[in-house]
Structure formats: C-alpha cells, structure tokens
Amino acid sequence: MPTKDIAEWDGRDDVVLVEREGDVATVLLNRPDKLNALNREMWKRIGEVFRSLDGDDELRCVVLKGGGDKALAPGADISEFADTRNDSAQASEYGGLMHEAMAAIRDCRVPVVARIGGLCVGGGLELALMCDLRIAGAGARFGIPVSRLGLVMAYPEVEALVDLVGPSVALEILLEARVFDAKEAKDKGLVNRVVPDEKLDADVAQTVKRISSGAPLVNRWHKKFIRRVVAGARTPAPLTREEAAEGFACFDTEDFQEGVRAFLAKETPRFKGR
C-alpha cells in the first residue's frame, strides 16, 4: 500500500485528508505543526469522512494515520477550550460532535486499521479505540491524562476503553494518568502489535494486503457479528431469527463459490464482494 508524504497529498491544507488507492483508503489527520491536536473542525471532518467511506461498496480496508512522524494525535487542542468548551453546555454540544465522529469510525462496515506512530494520547487514543486493529511503532506513547486537566472521559469513550482492556486496567489508565510506552500498551491489550518504528509502514501495508485479499462481504459480516456479540454480553438478548440466518447468508454469495473453486484448484481467489 504505497503512501504519500503529507506534502504530496494534492497540496491541500484540509485538517483531514483522504487518499484512495484501489480498494484501500487512507485517512490522514493533517495538523502536523500541532502534532495533529484535535480541534472542532477535525472532529466534524472525521465524522463526515468515515460516514462517506461506510457507503463505499468497493472499499476493502481503511487506514487511519497521523500526518508527520511525531503523533497520531496528542489529544485535544486546548487552545480552543475558552471558545468551544468553557462550560458544561458548550462541552456537551462539542462532545456530541466527538461521539458522532468516533461512532462513524466504529460503525464503518469496512475494516479500519490504526497506524500509530509517536504520541497517541487522550482524544488520539480514543480515536484508535474505535478502530478494528491497532498497530504501533515501538516508539509510540499512550495515555489518557485528562484528570490532570480536571476533565472526565465520557461514557462512550469509557465504554470503548473498558471493552478493550477491562475495568481494572481502564481505571489504572484513567486514575494514574500516566503516559506509557508501546510495550506496556501491548501488555494492557490496547494495541494488537508493536513493531520497530522503521518497519511500521511496511507492517501496516502487509496487514492491509491480508485484509483486502479476503472476501469483503465476509469481513463486513465478521465486524457486525463481533459487535453484536459484545453488545449482547453487555445487554443480554437472544439473536433474532434474522440475525441467526445472517450467519449462513455467505453461502449464497458469488465469493463463496469463488473461494471453494480457487481452493480446489489451488489458486488465489478473486473476490468481488458479491
């Protein structure tokens, strides 16, 4: 999956950029001079981008990354707090925008991979939590030190954190408010894999290649099924007849026929998402 240097992304200065190469999209947080600190415009744009990608039936994988070499994102742009998050009413409205953006990543039907280099703190880590896979460079740093600002992590973000690492580790991260290294993040279950910084892009590219070579409808179903299982564990409810039947819908797809044919012929399958 070739990537472009930030300066080559069509010369645009949008706070969030999207590049499409074949069936893969790369979403770039584009404020490298601010380490990609998240402001209101970025949250709005992230939601718009991922809602658009969700509707792209030809897409097979999305990569979320930060512009520059120093961060995915270090958290919120605190300089705008006085104008946009100065009391509970403002913060509630702003939080709604954040939660819409995070839900757009989480609900995207296409597998989303977070490429984490440098700082992944606060809101940056919250974005990463919404991705399906998280691959970090060894030099990456993680944490949610919001208590140092007198802030809380709201319910949607807490839910995502607890789902990933469990309540005790979530409390450790929030109460101690430490910034810790990639190895500890891996030990805590925050990331899937840690690789040397110089191999990060190559590892992400290989991961994307493996995902994209699979049957795209199956990948989307697996995302949906896992979310349903997690939701069911939180609020127990039996599967509906329609949900149970969806577990066998793959047998009616052209991709199933192609997968079986290719396996028997000892060939690489050519899935079409149909």
Give the long-range contacts of residues 13-22, CB within 8 A, separation 24 or more: 14/45, 15/39, 15/41, 15/42, 15/45, 16/42, 16/45, 16/46, 16/49, 17/67, 18/49, 18/53
Query: For residue 41, what pLDDT is reported?
Result: 94
What's the CA gap between 76 and 97, in Å, rounded?
A: 13
Same domain, 190 and 80: yes
pTM of the model: 0.91
* Residue 272 is assigned to a structural domain of this protein: no
Tell me what pLDDT residue 47 has. 96
pLDDT one-digit tens code per residue, 214-242? 999 999 999 999 998 988 777 888 889 99
Please state, in angstroms and rounded to a whole number, the distance separating the CA atoms of residues 274 and 264.
20
Asked if residue 183 and residue 228 are part of one domain, the reply reads no
| Per-residue pLDDT, 83 | 87
Q: Shortest CA distance to 144 belongs to which of 73, 230, 69?
A: 73
Identify whether residues 185 and 230 lie together within a single domain.
no
Smallest CA-to-CA distance from 23 within 49, 50, 51, 60 is with 60
What pLDDT was estimated at residue 13? 66
Tell me the pLDDT tens digit for each residue of 33-42.
Answer: 999 999 999 9
Count of domains for the chain: 2
- Which segments of the chain have a pLDDT < 70? 1-13
> Is there a single domain that holds both residue 160 and residue 219?
no
Domain that holds residue 236: 215-264
pLDDT of residue 231: 83
Dump pLDDT digits (tens) for 16-34.
999 999 999 999 999 999 9
Q: What is the pLDDT of residue 32?
A: 93
Residue 96, pLDDT score: 92
CA distances from 5 to 23, 50, 188 (A): 20, 21, 32
CATH number reported for the structural domain that contains residue 176 in this entry: 3.90.226.10
Determine the pLDDT at residue 8: 44
